[in-house]
Amino acid sequence: MRSTGFRRTFVALSVCSSLALAATACASGDDGTASGKTRITVNCEPPKSAKVDRGFFEQDVASFEKQHPDIDVVAHDAFPCQDPKTFDAKLAGGQMEDVFYTYFTDARHVVDIRQAADLTPYIKELKSYDSIQKQLRDIYTVGGKIYGVPRTGYSMGLIYNRKLFQKAGLDPDRPPTTWDEVRADAKKIAALGDGTVGYADYSAQNQGGWHFTAELYSQGGDVVSPDGKKATVDTPEGHAVLQNLHDMRWTDDSMGSKQLLVINDVQQMMGSGKLGMYLSAPDNIPILVKEKGGNYKDLALGPMPGGKGTLIGGDGYMFNKHDTPAQIRAGLKWLDHMFLTPGTGFLGDYARAKKANAPVGLPEPRLFTGAADAKDQQVKKANANVPVENYQAFLDGNHSLQLKIEPPDAQQIYSVLDSAVSAVLTKKDADIDQLLKDASGKIDGILARG
């Protein structure tokens, strides 16, 4: 699933205006050259309504072209950045841009259908590559070859309301780190009454399956076997996930009576100050403030409970299999300039973002390691305009967890798991063993077809 709000809307400056595009000066040949320049097309230009981000991106593309006068960058308008309904068709029809946006979960699929350029011979020209977290780089490495470059990454944690923690007699600086602690804290928060809910979870529109997966990872389990051929949800870890939800809902009454919730419902509850905790990535926090009535000082982030793993997501760029060596080299330079230089560029110019009143200081995205990460964090901290101390527990706790991406055929699998999650939250007598057995069989069928 996408982590709503995490991917900052971003755009690129079309090198040629619509008028100029009609002129021969902007025409390009099959070799990616135009007027003696290397021309690359890139996607993910959002609508003009995203004025601030559009302006930032245009500035950054213009500065890139000034530094590299031998390269033309032409952006194609696409919002959302990737439409699952048209993605495969564009690839198969040869309509994909030279440098194109992908979610982490797309990487292997694009390679499997042989639509990605092999970047391995050129990757040393990407100055930032070795500084990117290896676990993220590995997502775009298939069969020992490199087919893409990460741009952002997020991991799941626990968003909680500091004010409700204090009212319930809990320490707002010490969020729960185990599921037993989550259950105990949720019960105390729900006891405040007046419609207060201790813990909420999604259970519809495939989002329940998404969170089941995250919770299963946190217990040390997995959804499918390492070879991707068999379901692994009918396990002690899978049972623990559903039993915990069932007990919080029916034994403790800490999840409220309204169920079949989706992300917007839960965000509304948190923004209104009536929810103690829910699983999310850091990108939800600005949404809770800007759209749901929340306050930065009341919202904090703890690590993923369970201590064994967390679901990650994010995005990156891959290159069209038809790209010339010159286009690949130009695209790598563009990525370095736009996204992968710590403290600068579209995602890293925190001083510019602060002036535009964008939130600065959230713990993610955190793409780099070592000296690059230190520099990026230093610049971020110097320009922070949100209470960074509220996220320290997340930073301290999540760094040691095993990071896992979504399973193959994720949406089909999530649809199956939705039924199991919704059942335990709406039926007091739900048979957890049978639910997991049924889900396992259906997932096996999905994997067999895939």
Tokens 């599921």, located at residue: 179
The tokens describing 33, both together, are: 């050259």
Contact indicator for 383, 350 with CB cutoff of 8 Å: yes
Note the pLDDT of residue 54: 86
pTM above 0.75, yes or no: yes
CA-nearest of 138, 128, 139, 218 to 177 is 218
Interhelix angle for 236-246 vs 207-218, to 10°?
120
Structure tokens, 121: 């011979």
Is residue 237 a part of any domain in this protein? yes
127 & 179 share domain: no
| Residue 220 belongs to some domain of the structure | yes
Residue count (the chain): 450
Tens digits of residue pLDDT in 160-201: 999 999 999 999 999 999 999 999 999 999 999 999 999 999
pLDDT of residue 52: 87
Q: Residues 176, 290: one domain?
A: yes
Number of domains in the chain: 2
Please tell me whether residues 329 and 365 are part of one structural domain: yes
| For residues 236-241, average pLDDT | 98
Same domain as 430, residue 301: yes
Q: Are residues 28 and 81 in the same domain?
A: yes
29 and 89 housed in the same domain: yes
pLDDT of res. 365: 87
Instruction: Give the DSSP H or E segment for 235.
Output: none
Same domain, 144 and 195: no
CATH number of the domain where residue 256 is located: 3.40.190.10
pLDDT by residue (tens digit) across 125-165?
A: 999 999 999 989 999 999 999 999 999 999 999 999 999 99
- Asked whether residue 176 is domain-assigned, the answer is yes
Among the candidates 331, 363, 379, a domain finishes at: 379
Distance CA 425, CA 202 (A): 10
Task: Give the Cα separation of 405 and 333 in Å (integer).
Answer: 27
Residues 301 and 195 in one domain: yes
Distance separating alpha carbons of residues 310 and 316, to the nearest angstrom: 20
Strands (E) across 320-372 are located at none
Centroid of chain to Cα 352:
23
- Cα 426 to its chain centre, rounded Å, is 29
Do residue 199 and residue 298 come from a single domain?
yes
**CB 96 within 8 Å of CB 320:** yes
Q: Which domain holds residue 369?
A: 18-153+313-379
Asked if 68 and 133 sit in the same domain, the reply is yes
Query: pLDDT-based confidence at 309, cuts 50/70/90?
Result: very high
